[in-house]
Amino acid sequence: MKREKMLVIALPGGASLAAALARSLRCDWSELALHHFPDGETGVRIDVAVKGCCVILAGSLNQPDTKTLPLIYAADAALELGAVQVGLVAPYLAYMRQDKRFHPGEAITSRSYARMLSASLDFLVTVDPHLHRIHTLDEIYSIRTQVVPAAPLIARWLRSHVHSPWLIGPDEESAQWVAEVAGLVGAPWTVLHKTRRGDRDVGVRLASRERWPEHVPVLLDDIISTGETMLAATRLLQKAGLGAPLCVGVHALFDAQAQSRLLEAGVSRVLTCDTVTHASNTIRMAPALARACREISA
Ligand code: R5P
């Protein structure tokens, strides 16, 4: 069966991802044209012919509120202009952490956001979404979805750069990533117990008696945002005499001070996957994302 031609369109901030995907997929890419009207509304224009194509909108959804409306307008326009299908490659998928009503009256934004994107797209490809109380994307997204795991690439990096790592997850939720990476590397692993009292107020403690003092501590989490979780874990390890950790994050949401505060606290190196553009990006995800696109669009 003949496949439709692929075409990648970069969402705001997604140009380098779009170019890398297009290179791997051997197809063209183009930027979405945006115009900001004086009244605060946004005009969206697709400057390439999409008729008969499988259109892939590419861009990470960190800082999602300004990116989501252009994404929906672009997806709707591509379909109206004759695209056969429209998918989204968002290496970081937003609004996955508000997966329950933590306080009375709160919106469960994971569900609303999934409903909104599902209404305009045919498929979604992402890297390690924050799945906690929601176990698979299919529980909230009604379109085809594919998750690209970062663990094999992180494990490959650790195998070639760190002798005898000890994988440590800063909270119970991180066990899914930590266990997988540790298994692939053949290293011991532990998760800490975390208490979050506020956006920037986090406490951690060692939940088990297990210690691997001869190993290099490697803190691993899916998201580094304010850096408070990694900071609390770093301080704990240092206080326990377990050495300066390496911090590995999948998604580098990093606020302005997070990386420098981690380095000042004694972290030996901070490294992340390039799902969100940041100076710490070390592990490239585009080739694996392109493979996922080929599979899901077939
Ligand atoms: C928690 O749900 C996530 O896995 C991360 O631990 C969290 O997002 C990190 O946030 P921060 O860097 O602000 O402590």
Q: How far, in Å, from the CA of 221 to the mean position of ligand 1?
A: 8
Give the model's confidence band at 1: pLDDT under 50 very low, under 70 low, under 90 confident, else very high.
low
Residue with tokens 């956006």: 199
Nearest-CA residue for atom 7 of ligand 1: 223
Q: Is the CB of 18 under 6 A from ligand 1?
A: no
**Over 80: is that where the pLDDT of 2 sits?**
no
Average model confidence (pLDDT) across the chain: 96
User: What is the sign of the dihedral through the CA atoms of 45, 48, 52 and 54?
Assistant: negative
> Which one is predicted more confidently, 173 or 110?
110
C-alpha 96: how far from its chain's center?
10
Q: Following DSSP, what letter does each residue of 63-108 receive, concatenated?
A: SHHHHHHHHHHHHHHHHHTT-SEEEEE-SS-SS-S--S-SSTT---
Measured CA to CA in angstroms, residue 100 lies from 103, 107, 108 at distances of 9, 8, 5
pLDDT digits (tens, 9 = 90+) for 128-178: 999 989 999 999 999 999 999 999 999 999 999 999 999 999 999 999 999
Nearest-CA residue for atom 10 of ligand 1: 225
**Percentage with pLDDT > 70 across the chain:** 99
pLDDT digits (tens, 9 = 90+) for 283-295: 999 999 999 999 9
User: What top-level class would CATH report for the domain 5-149+284-297?
Assistant: alpha beta
CA distance 207 to 203: 12
CA distance 123 to 111: 16
Q: How far, in Å, from the CA of 226 to the mean position of ligand 1?
A: 8
Q: Is the CB of 171 under 6 A from ligand 1?
A: yes
Determine the pLDDT at residue 289.
98
CA distance 152 to 158: 10
Which of 192, 200, 202, 224 gets mutated to test ligand 1 (max ligand atoms within 8 A of its CB)? 224
Is there a shared CATH topology between the 5-149+284-297 domain and the 151-274 domain?
yes
Closest CA to 117 of 67, 188, 186, 51: 67
Measured CA to CA in angstroms, residue 191 lies from 69, 118, 188, 234 at distances of 38, 34, 11, 13
pLDDT digits (tens, 9 = 90+) for 34-74: 999 999 999 999 999 999 999 999 999 999 999 999 999 99
Helices 64-80 & 109-120 angle (0-180, nearest 10): 20
Which of 225, 275, 280 gets mutated to test ligand 1 (max ligand atoms within 8 A of its CB)? 225
- 151-274: in CATH 3.10.129.10: no
The SS3 call for residue 136 is: coil
178 and 150 in contact (C-beta within 8 Å)?
A: no
Q: Which atom of ligand 1 is nearest to the CA of 194?
A: 6
Q: How many residues does the chain have?
A: 298
What the block records as the tokens of 5 is 């031609």
Determine the pLDDT at residue 210.
83
**Over 80: is that where the pLDDT of 123 sits?**
yes
Give the model's confidence band at 10: pLDDT under 50 very low, under 70 low, under 90 confident, else very high.
very high
Give the model's confidence band at 3: pLDDT under 50 very low, under 70 low, under 90 confident, else very high.
confident
Q: For the whole prediction, is pTM greater than 0.85? A: yes
Taking residues 206-224, report their average pLDDT. Answer: 92
The structural domains of the chain, with segments of one domain joined by +, span 5-149+284-297, 151-274
